[in-house]
Amino acid sequence: MAGYDFDMIVIGGGAAGLTASGIAANFGAKTMMVEADRLGGDCTWTGCIPSKTLLKAGKVACQIKDAGKYGLIDAEPNIDFKKVMQHVDHVRKEVYHDADRPEIFEDMGIEVVHGLASFKDDHTIEIEYKDGRTRAVSSKYFIIATGAKAFVPPIDGIEEVDYLTNESLFEIEDLPEELLIIGGGPIGTEMSQAFVNLGSEVTIIDMADRILANDDPELVDILHDELKKQGVNYQLNASVKKVMQDGNRIKVQVEIKGEEKVIEGDALLMATGRRANTSSLNLEAAGVKTDKGNIVVDESCRSSQSNIYAAGDVTGRYQFTHMSEHMAKIAATKALLKVVPMKIEKDMVSWVTFTDPELAHVGKTEKQLKEEGEKYEVYRFPYSKIDRAVAEGETTGLVKVFAKKLSGKILGATAVGAHAGEFISEYAVAIKNGVSMRGIADTIHPYPSWGLGARRAADQWYIKNQSKWSVKLIKTIFGYRGDTPDYSDPDRVV
């Protein structure tokens, strides 16, 4: 590697880039990290951190309004939205200072450079600094981790409308009175709840017949009903034809079942997906192939050029921070250690929509299992039977686990309800390490914890594997005189 300036250059300083750089330096590789804007990327500045902070503020406001359910006195929260947004900014700056600032990585021996990188060939990039200076540097290996940005479809009139995306939403100072959101995915759904709880009138517009199309339909319906109760309005099956700016008003013309209507508001959030940041990289010069703007990688995160890897949103595979970090770990390890057998985990990808209630998933969905012809049983457990949920007044929710009938091998799990993401984390560990439903059911969980709900759901494997004849046999052998349980209800929960 002596012929190159660096052993590893990581392009991008978001979740994937920070992880990849840290791992490379930890392996003893001479490492450079190039970031065009601020370290921390989307997650710290325009995604996970600010959105969850805003959701928390909205939840607190909602709890003040509903204090009576806890035996307290209902009150109308006095919301200073500018102060709320200052709090959001303070939190993301705190995260940046604690985890993302350049000095942390420079202390690891990483050279941190702020500039725009583009390839000159497969081993050389040119960095353009903000003052116009340029610098050419070479490296044995590269990891591209430039992330993605908000995608806004070419809707008629969109260029004339003062719309928001997640990249500008957290910079506003005035609370919208009527917020329109185009897109019913995770971003649109989370922000609809945050803003309705802070006092906005919110309408979600989506061309699909339901929100959160990748999640379990039954659980989505539970969340959808809760959001409607909280005040979120929906216009589904709505094809957006045109958007218009009329002074301070924004009008969205839609077609629903052949009829056209106009929906009005004073702010518009475009939550219509994301597109990989590859346009400025000059990937052709490096021989790196793309598909619809996304860098094509194999199961080890290697691109079409053997010394160049990619991780995170730039690959278009998974739009989750945890998957960006997972891919970065694989990319850095495979590039530098070669022989380590690591591949992208595809069968146990987890995700959470952090609304209240939360909606979470890990492993195979029921739709996937049916399409693959997999034999499985569904084990259900309602939040209303979780004592901690009853104590905290959070009984809306359901846990569903998909597992093999005899072995109890877990194929997938999904949950809607308070702390659903924590339930899913336990099932993710179980799937990864081959822990069966029986293994979870036989593990002591503290009472009355939320995690006990994961065990209670696993208990249902025992219940569903009992049968009338087996109990009768036990009664006959041991001379027991009690009643035989009724097993006629396949959805019986004990």
Q: What is the CATH number of the domain that holds 178?
A: 3.50.50.60
Read off the DSSP letter of residue 267.
E
Torsion-angle region of 19 (φ positive above 0: left; ψ -120 to 50: alpha; else: beta) = alpha
**Residue 64 located in a structural domain:** no
Which pTM was predicted?
0.94
Please indicate if the annotation marks 187 as binding a ligand: yes
The pLDDT tens digits of the residues spanning 369-379 come to: 999 999 999 99
Tell me the average pLDDT of the chain: 96
User: How far apart, in whole angstroms, are the C-alpha atoms of residue 171 and residue 61?
Assistant: 20
Please indicate if the annotation marks 321 as binding a ligand: no
**pLDDT at position 490, please?**
66
Please indicate if the annotation marks 284 as binding a ligand: no
The pLDDT tens digits of the residues spanning 296-341 come to: 999 999 999 999 999 999 999 988 999 999 999 999 999 999 877 8
User: How far apart, in whole angstroms, are the C-alpha atoms of residue 355 and residue 12?
Assistant: 29
- Does residue 150 surpass a pLDDT of 70? yes
Please indicate if the annotation marks 185 as binding a ligand: yes
User: Tokens at residue 75, please?
Assistant: 């009150």
The pLDDT tens digits of the residues spanning 408-444 come to: 999 999 999 999 999 999 999 999 999 999 999 999 9
Please indicate if the annotation marks 221 as binding a ligand: no
CA dihedral 199, 203, 204, 206 (to 10 degrees): -170
**pLDDT at position 466, please?**
78
User: How far apart, in whole angstroms, are the C-alpha atoms of residue 303 and residue 11?
Assistant: 14
100 contact partners, CB below 8 Å, separation of at least 6: 13, 18, 38, 39, 40, 44
Query: Is 281 found in the same domain as 268?
Result: no
Over residues 55-74, the mean pLDDT reads 96
Identify the domain containing residue 260 by its residue range: 158-272
Whose tokens are 């003052």? That residue is 131
- Does residue 2 surpass a pLDDT of 70? no
**pLDDT at position 483, please?**
87
The pLDDT tens digits of the residues spanning 12-46 come to: 999 999 999 999 999 999 999 999 999 999 999 99
Omega before 186 cis (within 30°)? no
Please indicate if the annotation marks 295 as binding a ligand: no
Please indicate if the annotation marks 463 as binding a ligand: no
The CATH number of residue 430's host domain is 3.30.390.30
User: Tokens at residue 184, please?
Assistant: 């019913």
User: How far apart, in whole angstroms, are the C-alpha atoms of residue 178 and residue 188?
Assistant: 14
User: How far apart, in whole angstroms, are the C-alpha atoms of residue 165 and residue 188?
Assistant: 10
Query: Is 242 found in the same domain as 189?
Result: yes
Over residues 93-103, the mean pLDDT reads 98
**pLDDT at position 1, please?**
52
User: How far apart, in whole angstroms, are the C-alpha atoms of residue 402 and residue 414?
Assistant: 9
- Count the domains in the chain: 3
Query: Is 198 found in the same domain as 129?
Result: no
Query: Is 404 found in the same domain as 472?
Result: yes
32, 6 contact by CB (below 8 A)? yes
CA distances 31 to 5, 11, 60, 138, 310, Å, are 9, 11, 43, 11, 16
The pLDDT tens digits of the residues spanning 215-252 come to: 999 999 999 999 999 999 999 999 999 999 999 999 99
**Residue 90 located in a structural domain:** no
Please indicate if the annotation marks 58 as binding a ligand: no
**Residue 449 located in a structural domain:** yes
Read off the DSSP letter of residue 383.
G
The pLDDT tens digits of the residues spanning 191-206 come to: 999 999 999 999 999 9
Query: Is 359 found in the same domain as 322?
Result: no
Read off the DSSP letter of residue 110.
P
The pLDDT tens digits of the residues spanning 376-418 come to: 999 999 999 999 999 999 999 999 999 999 999 999 999 999 9
Please indicate if the annotation marks 19 as binding a ligand: no
295 three-class SS:
strand
**Residue 487 located in a structural domain:** no
Please indicate if the annotation marks 188 as binding a ligand: yes
**Residue 18 located in a structural domain:** yes
Per DSSP (E only), the strands in 151-258 are 178-182, 201-205, 233-235, 238-246, 249-256
pLDDT category at 472 given cuts 50, 70, 90 is: confident
Please indicate if the annotation marks 189 as binding a ligand: yes
Amino acid at site 447 = Y
